[in-house]
Amino acid sequence: MKTLAIDFLLKKAPIAIAMVDTKLNFINYSNQWRKDFTLNNSDYIGKNLFEVIGETPGQFDKDLKKGLKGEEIENLGQKYILPSGKLQWLKWKISPVKIDDTNDLDGLLIFLEDVTEDKKEIELLHKAEAVARIGCWEIDLINNSLYWTKTTKDIHEVSEDFVPDLAQGINFYKEGSHRDKITELVGTAIEQGKSWDTELIIITAKGNEVWVRAKGEVEMAKGQPVRIIGTFQDIDQTKKMQLAHEEISERLKITTQTAQIGIWDFNLETNELLWDNEMYQIFGVQKDDFSGVFEAWESTIHPDDKEKALKATENAVAGVKDFDEEFRIILKDGSIKHIKGTSKTIKDYNGKPIKLTGANWDITNLRSTELKLIRSTESFIETFDNASIGMALVSPDFRWLKVNKSLLNSLGYTEKELLSMKTLDITHPEDILASKSFHTSAYDGLNDTYQLEKRYFHKDGHLVHVVLGVTVVKDMNDNPSHTIAQFLDITDRIESEKRLQTLVEVTKSQNDSLMNFAHIVSHNLRSHSTNMTMLTKFLTMEEDEEERKNLHNMINNAAESLAETIAHLNDVVQVKTGTLENLKSIGVLNTVHHIKKSIGGLLEEQNAVLNINVSKTHFVNAVPAYLESIFLNVITNALKYRSENRAPIIEISSKIKGDHVLITFSDNGQGIDLKRHGDKIFGMYKTFHKHKDAKGIGLFITKNQIEAMGGKINLESTVDVGTTIFIELKKA
Amino acid sequence: MKNVQICCIIDDDPIFIYGTKRIMKEVDFAETILVFNNGQEAVEGLMEISQSGELMPEVIFLDLNMPIMNGWEFLDEYKNLPNHNTEKTIIYIISSSVDPRDLERVKNYEQVNNYILKPITPDDLSNILKATKT
């Protein structure tokens, strides 16, 4: 065996190969072995294998032992982590060498190869494959077989020992367009040697839909395709993102189109302005007519807004402030549009602005609506402020929110005063309930409007009558927010109605008293006339002189009575006509003094005392002669009907009562039984005392005089205690 | 024709009283004539007569318009007089009033036989006699 030729061959073999004897001592080895597995180049023939190569995996030892037992062992390459921690891929073949034709073992022929570098590279590739989710595959067109790498199998979600065939491989593609497409591509590749690169959906073994990118390249031999090698990449996430992006972009496009928002790009470096279709629509420009430069845009801007727009653009270009302006443009046909524009400035790495991107939209409608709103608001405010009727805005909790001048005039408050109050603060107590219930039903949505006649108190205390018209104002959600109230001041009307009512009452009572008067007149005149008729008849028949004289006397008396009655009637008639025109301001005290003086004798005669407690400042509107007659009548009545048991004391006092002066005459006389006579105390020819001078005319005339001057008379009396007469006359 | 025993005139007008008395004499209307000048006097006078058990007037001529107590008030008081033969007394209202309200009001008083407008005449008295005695 130790032939030179063999030695030489062994030495020069381009692989690491060694021959050892049964003791594992080197017999020979190739140069490559020495290079790969010895520490130095020294010769170690005859030395033990393990002395020379140092660290080896345990498996190698075991295999050597097997070899020594005559087995041939091949290791196609395995990764070993050596005891030192070193990672090594080794590949070996151990063949027992036998002595010619005997079964005796002569030694071992060892082929050893360190494939660490190659294996590392493959491992990296696999890792890269797995990380990038790019698998490989290969179709052997000669055997019609298909091979998938691990990642390809992973992407298909099949187990590692899965062996695909071509039909199966294609059936993983989603039925329909995807499977049709791959079938076509593979077919074309086989027939025409055409490569492909496509993105399709497969359904994995677990039923998941996954987007993949499949690439195939055909290898030709002698003009015939023999093999197709390709990659298989999981692009599901990317694809889905891309699809989502496309969807969003599409949606955005539809949105901007629908919303008529124009999008533009302005390249600062090239002064190129790029518009989308909406921009052309908004600016009313034909795409072909647009020069696509900044100046083209600038020229459309309304002259009044140009400065503002250009300044904003300048700032945007300089990157100082993004464009955010409203401006007007003039279209070719001369019409004006209001445009809202915004932009973003895009800068390069150095912060230098390179591009503006922005949006424009037409806000003409918005502006004109706003304008209309402003005009309508203005006209409301104008109406509100200048309305001749009172107007106010009132909150749900009855606060005055806004009031106009007319209302302030009606109520007498200043705006500041009124705004600090609630409407109910100055509402007449009797009207609060109605006000509240209308208010509530309006806010509950039962009525949108209501009308109500109610009363407020003027600042100075008098009543203000209004017809209140209320309209509920609703907010955007259709909830009532406040009310608009209109106040028609009908105080004058009510006052005149009242005056009219009073007038009607006065007229009615005057009519009644005139009626009474007429009957009294007829009664009295009839009494006298019948008496006279009777007496004259007696006279004609009477012959006795004495009796005739008597009758003459009686006729005289009757005639005098008739004259007196007529005088009374005359007094009464005078009172009834044209009194109010003659009213003058008269001092009450003056008149009292005047009367006191004129009846001084009478007072003295009866030891009467007048206690006068009348203010000098009390003046009344009266006819002087009436006032004197009234006072005289009341005082003389008090004296006439004095008590027989005591000297008359008359108290006269005065005080202010509203717009009247109340004058009180209090005596200590006989008094009148008001239960019996109360209803006819002021009647004509009503007398209640046994007094020869009682005619029943004094108080009747007094009452008529007082009423004719717009006053009132009343009395209180207790028999044998005294009488108090209350006279109210209008304050002057 | 038999005449009235006692006749009563309640009136404040002396001329009327004079005239009426004179006519009564002419027709011999009554044996005795009582005169009161107003309702109050009449109520008091009649009360006295009634209490003393004397004869009450058969006929009363009552005026309406009088001081202190008028005819209406007298009628109200008269009802309350403690007299057992007031129902035999006939009351005539003698007044100058042509006021329809007065004529209407008279209907409310049962005791009132008739309403005679002043002046009273001999014929009136004859009619009254006829009415009382039949």
In terms of Cα–Cα distance, which of B66, B78, B88 is closest to B109? B78
Kindly identify which residue of chain A lies nearest to residue B72, measuring between CA atoms: A676
Residue A248 lies in a domain: no
ipTM: 0.80
Question: CA A536, CA A528: separation in Å to the nearest integer?
Answer: 12
Residue A252 lies in a domain: no
Q: Which residues of A touch B18 (CB under 8 A)?
A: 554
Are A317 and A455 within one domain? no
On whether any CB of chain A is under 8 Å from the CB of B12, the answer is no
On whether any CB of chain B is under 8 Å from the CB of A126, the answer is no
Kindly identify which residue of chain B lies nearest to residue A672, measuring between CA atoms: B68
**Partners of residue A651 on adjacent β-strands:** A611, A666
The verdict on a CB contact (< 8 Å) between A523 and B98 is: yes
The 3-state DSSP class for residue B12 equals: coil
CA B35 to chain centre: 9
Positions of chain A with pLDDT lower than 50, given as ranges: 1
Question: CA B42, CA B48: separation in Å to the nearest integer?
Answer: 10
- pLDDT confidence of residue B65: 82
Are A94 and A174 within one domain? no
On whether any CB of chain A is under 8 Å from the CB of B122, the answer is no
Among candidate residues A241, A273, A308, the one where a domain is terminated? A241
Identify which of A526, A531, A694 has the shortest CB distance to residue B15: A531
Q: Which two tokens stand for residue A507?
A: 């007229």
Q: Which residues of B touch A513 (CB under 8 A)?
A: none
Residue A134 lies in a domain: yes
Are A563 and A583 within one domain? no
Q: Which residues of A touch B16 (CB under 8 A)?
A: 527, 531
Among candidate residues A436, A462, A489, the one where a domain is terminated? A489
- pLDDT confidence of residue A61: 84
Are the beta carbons of A171 and A211 closer than 8 angstroms?
no
Domain count, chain A: 6
**Computed from CA positions of residues A38, A42, A45, A46, in that sequence, does the dihedral angle turn out positive or negative?**
negative
Q: What angle do CA A269, A274, A275 make, to 5 degrees?
A: 155
User: In terms of residue numbers, what domain contains B65?
Assistant: 4-133
- pLDDT confidence of residue A392: 92
- pLDDT confidence of residue A480: 87
Residue A249 lies in a domain: no
Q: A342-348 contacts: CB < 8 A, separation 24 or more?
A: A343/A316, A345/A316, A345/A317, A345/A319, A347/A319
DSSP A308-335: HHHHHHHHHHHTSS--EEEEEEE-TTS-
- pLDDT confidence of residue A271: 81
Q: Which residues of A touch B13 (CB under 8 A)?
A: 527, 531
CA distance A687 to chain B (A): 5
The 3-state DSSP class for residue A444 equals: coil
| B101-123: b (≥16 Cβ within 10 Å) or e | ebeebbeebeebbebbebbbeee
CA distance A684 to chain B (A): 11
Question: CA A303, CA A269: separation in Å to the nearest integer?
Answer: 27
The verdict on a CB contact (< 8 Å) between B19 and A531 is: yes
Are A151 and A188 within one domain? yes
Are the beta carbons of A482 and A402 closer than 8 angstroms?
no
Judged on CB neighbours under 10 Å (0-12, 13-18, 19+), A356 is: buried
Kindly identify which residue of chain B lies nearest to residue A693, measuring between CA atoms: B67
**Enclosing H/E stretch for A240:** helix A236-258
B residues 21..40 contacting A (CB < 8 A): 22, 40
Kindly identify which residue of chain B lies nearest to residue A558, measuring between CA atoms: B15
pLDDT tens string, chain B, 134 residues long: the values are: 568 889 999 998 888 898 899 888 888 888 889 999 888 899 899 888 888 878 888 899 999 888 778 888 888 888 877 765 666 788 999 988 877 888 888 888 888 888 888 888 888 888 888 877 66
Are A644 and A517 within one domain? no
User: In terms of residue numbers, what domain contains A433?
Assistant: 387-489
Question: CA A572, CA A513: separation in Å to the nearest integer?
Answer: 11
Count the Cβ atoms, other than its own, within 10 Å of residue A680. 15
Identify which of B14, B19, B97 has the shortest CB distance to residue A523: B97
CA distance A536 to chain B (A): 11
CA distance A548 to chain B (A): 13
Question: CA A459, CA A624: separation in Å to the nearest integer?
Answer: 36
- pLDDT confidence of residue A101: 66
Are the beta carbons of A470 and A478 closer than 8 angstroms?
no
In terms of Cα–Cα distance, which of A74, A70, A76, A73 is closest to A97? A70
The 3-state DSSP class for residue B25 equals: helix
The verdict on a CB contact (< 8 Å) between A554 and B98 is: no
Q: Which residues of A touch B73 (CB under 8 A)?
A: 676
Are A235 and A155 within one domain? yes
Question: CA A66, CA A435: separation in Å to the nearest integer?
Answer: 117
Domain count, chain B: 1
Among candidate residues A209, A241, A273, the one where a domain is terminated? A241
The predicted-structure confidence for A121-165, as pLDDT tens digits, reads as follows 777 777 777 777 788 888 888 888 888 888 888 889 998 888 888
Question: CA A288, CA A275: separation in Å to the nearest integer?
Answer: 12
On whether any CB of chain A is under 8 Å from the CB of B131, the answer is no
Q: Which residues of B touch A670 (CB under 8 A)?
A: none
Are A105 and A128 within one domain? no
Local structure of residue A399 (DSSP, 8 states): B
On whether any CB of chain B is under 8 Å from the CB of A519, the answer is yes
Question: CA B75, CA B93: separation in Å to the nearest integer?
Answer: 10
On whether any CB of chain B is under 8 Å from the CB of A556, the answer is no
CA distance A405 to chain B (A): 58
Kindly identify which residue of chain B lies nearest to residue A686, measuring between CA atoms: B67
Are A470 and A434 within one domain? yes
CA distance B36 to chain A (A): 13
**Partners of residue B120 on adjacent β-strands:** none
Residue A247 lies in a domain: no
* A416 dihedral zone (left: phi>0; alpha: psi -120 to 50; beta): alpha
Kindly identify which residue of chain A lies nearest to residue B38, measuring between CA atoms: A690
CA atoms within 13 A on the CB side of B112: 23
CA distance B77 to chain A (A): 12
Identity of the amino acid at A665: F
How many residue contacts between A and B have a Cβ separation below 8 Å?
A: 58
The predicted-structure confidence for A357-381, as pLDDT tens digits, reads as follows 888 888 888 888 888 888 888 888 8
Identify which of A524, A538, A690 has the shortest CB distance to residue B19: A538
The verdict on a CB contact (< 8 Å) between A554 and B65 is: no
Are A212 and A311 within one domain? no
- Is the peptide bond prior to B57 cis by the omega test (within 30 degrees of 0)? no
Residue A10 lies in a domain: yes
Q: Which residues of B touch A554 (CB under 8 A)?
A: 14-15, 18
CATH code for position B65: 3.40.50.2300
Question: CA A714, CA A724: separation in Å to the nearest integer?
Answer: 8
Question: CA A678, CA A691: separation in Å to the nearest integer?
Answer: 19
Identify which of B18, B19, B67 has the shortest CB distance to residue A694: B67
Q: Which residues of B touch A690 (CB under 8 A)?
A: 40, 67-68
Question: CA A275, CA B113: separation in Å to the nearest integer?
Answer: 122
On whether any CB of chain B is under 8 Å from the CB of A533, the answer is yes
Question: CA B46, CA B81: separation in Å to the nearest integer?
Answer: 8
Are A124 and A110 within one domain? no
Residue A376 lies in a domain: no
CATH code for position A104: 3.30.450.20
On whether any CB of chain B is under 8 Å from the CB of A688, the answer is yes
CATH code for position A544: 1.10.287
CATH code for position A591: 3.30.565.10
Are A705 and A571 within one domain? no
Identity of the amino acid at A207: G
The verdict on a CB contact (< 8 Å) between A535 and B13 is: no
Q: Which residues of B touch A522 (CB under 8 A)?
A: 96-99
In terms of Cα–Cα distance, which of A197, A195, A187, A196 is closest to A220? A195
**Computed from CA positions of residues A513, A519, A523, A525, in that sequence, does the dihedral angle turn out positive or negative?**
positive
On whether any CB of chain B is under 8 Å from the CB of A559, the answer is no
Residue A246 lies in a domain: no
Are A537 and A441 within one domain? no
